[in-house]
Amino acid sequence: MARVIWPSVILVVVAGSEARAVVHVLILDPVDDSSLVAAVSGQKSVKEFAAEIDVFRRTLTAGKKGRIEALLGQPARRPDGDYAMPVAQPRGFLMSGVGHGDARDKDHTAFYPVGDFAGVEVWYGVDGETPAFAFLYFRVDKAFPRLREVKGAAGAPVAAPKQAPPPTRKHTIDQAHWDQLRGWMTKEHVAELFSAPAGDYAPGTEYLTRSWGRHGGGTGKAHETLEWRSEKVRIVVEFDAAGRFVGSEAFSPGRDPVTNVAERLNWDREKFDKLKKYVEERMAAK
């Protein structure tokens, strides 16, 4: 079930009744092309920046509403003008849907302007005090580079990916067998599942950098990562120190669109560093 609560937000009930559910909050990007944001999300530079944003977000929201407002001040209506999210920031998150279904539910969002260049939108849980997530926003200025596709020389379209070569041996490295991964499996079991040891069985095949799915396995910590590559899919599998499966991602053949993501990351980082410095100075003064 999905429902729009205001034009920029969609709530999707993932499991359970509306009173007791996990809710997937999806933010509709008002500035950037969501498909391009998703397409570049697996690139190394974007993932590294996403990890930095996540650490900052967790530090900022490690407390109740009073602490957040001591750092950011009182919430206010978002000022007029476009605010862009960092390209590396997730456009959604999961939150608990557990509530009373009446006036006792205090869940809400609050926008905290930071100077004239940024803002932080905090989503508070049912008690109205505990943050569930926070989104960063940077005010669009004249130097803002909207994420866009970049054409080749003289406006020519970027070359299409090369045709995948034929497999070098018979195997079962495909989505159907990837879906059969289980937490009790060892490296030997996984190799048997794919009918081949880890390796590249379609050299030259290009893959998208954004995974289209993840499977969880055991509860151990990833110790070793192996890959199975075929003309159909690139499968990355993590194993713990005992050689048991703990997690896996799959990547489709293809080529990421060529974009101005490097230029955009530079703009985002400049704003992010300024916001981070502001918060760190406020924290140090407390």
Strand positions, DSSP E, 55-207: 83-84, 92-96, 108-114, 118-124, 131-139, 199-200
**What confidence score (pLDDT) does residue 217 get?**
87
Distance CA 255, CA 253 (A): 7
Q: Which is nearest to 74 in space by CA: 116, 114, 133, 29?
A: 114
Distance CA 118, CA 109 (A): 16
**Two tokens at 211?**
């995974």
Distance CA 54, CA 69 (A): 19
User: What's the residue count for the chain?
Assistant: 286
Q: Which is nearest to 139 in space by CA: 234, 270, 256, 11?
A: 270
pTM attached to this predicted model: 0.78
The answer to whether 201 and 173 are in contact (CB under 8 A) is yes
**What confidence score (pLDDT) does residue 130 get?**
93
What angle do the packed helices 261-285 and 65-72 form, to 10 degrees? Answer: 100
CB atoms near residue 53 (< 10 Å)? 20
**What confidence score (pLDDT) does residue 42 get?**
92
For the segment 36-78, what is each residue's pLDDT rounded down to a tens digit? 999 999 999 999 999 999 999 999 999 999 999 999 999 998 8
Residue 199: what residue type? G
Please give the distance of CA 218 from its chain centroid, rounded to a whole number.
Answer: 22
Q: What's the mean pLDDT in 201-211?
A: 92
The answer to whether 121 and 111 are in contact (CB under 8 A) is yes
Strand positions, DSSP E, 168-208: 199-200
Cα angle 149-152-157, degrees, rounded to a multiple of 5: 75
For the segment 7-22, what is each residue's pLDDT rounded down to a tens digit? 455 555 455 544 456 7
The answer to whether 122 and 109 are in contact (CB under 8 A) is yes
CA pseudo-torsion sign 269, 272, 278, 282: negative
Count helices and strands in the chain by DSSP H and E runs: 6, 13
For the segment 249-284, what is each residue's pLDDT rounded down to a tens digit? 999 999 899 999 999 999 999 999 999 999 999 999
Q: Which is nearest to 97 in space by CA: 8, 9, 7, 11?
A: 11
